[in-house]
Chains A and B, each alone.
Chain A
Amino acid sequence: MSAPPALLQVRDLNVRMPTPAGTLHVVRGVTFGVQPGEMLGLVGESGSGKSVTLRALMGLYRRPVTVSGTVEFAGQDLLRASEAQWQATRGAQIGMIFQEPMSALNPVLTVGTQIMENLRTHRGLRGRAAAERAAELLDLTGIPSPRARLNDYPHQFSGGMRQRAMIAIALASEPRLLLADEPTTALDVTIQDQILRLLLRLREELNMSVILVTHDLGVIAQTCDRVAVMYGGRLMETAPVGALFREPRHAYSLGLLRSLPGSGARRAPLQPIPGGPPNLLALPPGCAFSPRCAYASGACLGAEPPLVPVAPDRASACVHAAALPSLTGEVSA
Chain B
Amino acid sequence: MTARPLMDVRGLSKAFPAPQGLLARLRGEPRRAVQALSDVHLSVQRGETLGIVGESGCGKSTLARCLVRLQDADQGEVRYEDLDVLRLRGLDLRRYNRRVQMIFQDPYSSLNPRMTVGQMLREALSVHRLRPRAEQDARIQELLTLVGLPPAAAGRAPHEFSGGQRQRVGIARALALEPDCLIADELVSALDVSVQAQVVNLLLELQERLGLTVLFVAHDLRLVRHLSHRVAVMYLGRVVEVAPTEDLFRAPKHPYTQALLAAAPTLDPARRADAPAITGELPSPLNVPSGCAFRTRCPHAFARCAAERPLPTDVAGAQVACHLYSAPDGAVPG
> Which positions in A face B, CB cutoff 8 Å?
45-46, 158, 160-161, 188-194, 196-197, 215-219, 221-224, 241-242, 245, 255-257, 259-262, 266-267, 269-274, 276-277, 292, 331-333
CA distance A192 to B275 in the complex (A): 12
B55 near A276 (CB under 8 angstroms)? no
- Chain A residues with CB under 8 Å of B115's CB are none
- Chain A residues with CB under 8 Å of B279's CB are 194
Return the contact of B265 from the options A193, A242, A272 (Cβ within 8 A): A193
CA distance A194 to B196 in the complex (A): 27
Known: A221-B265, A276-B162. 14 other contacts (CB 8 A): A160-B281, A161-B281, A197-B274, A197-B276, A216-B265, A218-B264, A242-B269, A255-B194, A259-B197, A269-B201, A270-B201, A277-B162, A277-B192, A333-B222
A218 near B193 (CB under 8 angstroms)? no
- Chain A residues with CB under 8 Å of B56's CB are 188
B219 near A273 (CB under 8 angstroms)? no
- Chain B residues with CB under 8 Å of A45's CB are 192-194
CA distance A161 to B280 in the complex (A): 10
A260 near B259 (CB under 8 angstroms)? no
Return the contact of B193 from the options A256, A267, A276, A331 (Cβ within 8 A): A256
Question: Closest Cβ of chain B: how far from A221's Cβ, in Å?
Answer: 5
Question: Closest Cβ of chain A: how far from B243's Cβ, in Å?
Answer: 14
12 contacts between A and B (CB under 8 A): A188-B282, A193-B263, A193-B277, A218-B264, A221-B267, A245-B268, A245-B269, A261-B197, A261-B227, A276-B162, A276-B165, A333-B266
B200 near A270 (CB under 8 angstroms)? yes
Q: Does chain A have a CB within 8 A of B70?
A: no
CA distance A271 to B197 in the complex (A): 7
A266 near B162 (CB under 8 angstroms)? no
A270 near B269 (CB under 8 angstroms)? no
B279: nearest chain-A partner, CB-CB: A194
CA distance A273 to B204 in the complex (A): 17
Known: A262-B222, A266-B226, A269-B201. A218 touches B195 (CB 8 A): no
Q: Does chain A have a CB within 8 A of B33?
A: no
A270 near B197 (CB under 8 angstroms)? yes
Known: A158-B282, A261-B225. A219 touches B265 (CB 8 A): yes
CA distance A46 to B190 in the complex (A): 10
CA distance A197 to B273 in the complex (A): 8
Q: Mark B162-186, 1 if CB is under 8 A from A, else 0.
A: 1011000000000000000000000
Interface centre among A45, A191, A216, A274 (most CB of B within 10 A): A191
B263 near A192 (CB under 8 angstroms)? yes
A217 near B193 (CB under 8 angstroms)? yes
A221 near B222 (CB under 8 angstroms)? no
- Chain B residues with CB under 8 Å of A276's CB are 162, 164-165, 195
- Chain B residues with CB under 8 Å of A196's CB are 265
A158 near B281 (CB under 8 angstroms)? yes
- Chain B residues with CB under 8 Å of A257's CB are 267
- Chain B residues with CB under 8 Å of A262's CB are 222, 225-226, 267
A272 near B282 (CB under 8 angstroms)? no
Question: Closest Cβ of chain B: how far from A92's Cβ, in Å?
Answer: 30
- Chain A residues with CB under 8 Å of B263's CB are 189-190, 192-193
Question: Closest Cβ of chain A: how far from B129's Cβ, in Å?
Answer: 35
B58: nearest chain-A partner, CB-CB: A188
CA distance A266 to B226 in the complex (A): 5
Question: Closest Cβ of chain B: how far from A31's Cβ, in Å?
Answer: 24
Interface centre among B196, B246, B268, B274 (most CB of A within 10 A): B268
Q: Which positions 181-240 of chain B face chain A at CB distance < 8 Å? A: 192-198, 200-201, 204-205, 219, 221-223, 225-227
Q: Does chain A have a CB within 8 A of B245?
A: yes
A270 near B194 (CB under 8 angstroms)? no
- Chain A residues with CB under 8 Å of B205's CB are 269
**Can you list the 5 inter-chain pairs with the closest CB atoms, starting with the nearest?**
A218-B265, A272-B197, A261-B226, A193-B263, A273-B194
- Chain A residues with CB under 8 Å of B227's CB are 261, 267
Question: Closest Cβ of chain B: how far from A131's Cβ, in Å?
Answer: 24
Q: Does chain A have a CB within 8 A of B272?
A: yes
Question: Closest Cβ of chain B: how far from A101's Cβ, in Å?
Answer: 14
Return the contact of B194 from the options A161, A191, A216, A256 (Cβ within 8 A): A256
A189 near B267 (CB under 8 angstroms)? no
Known: A197-B273, A267-B226. A261 touches B267 (CB 8 A): no
A142: nearest chain-B partner, CB-CB: B279
Q: Does chain A have a CB within 8 A of B260?
A: yes
B195 near A193 (CB under 8 angstroms)? no
A259 near B278 (CB under 8 angstroms)? no
Question: Closest Cβ of chain B: how far from A257's Cβ, in Å?
Answer: 8
Question: Closest Cβ of chain B: how far from A293's Cβ, in Å?
Answer: 11
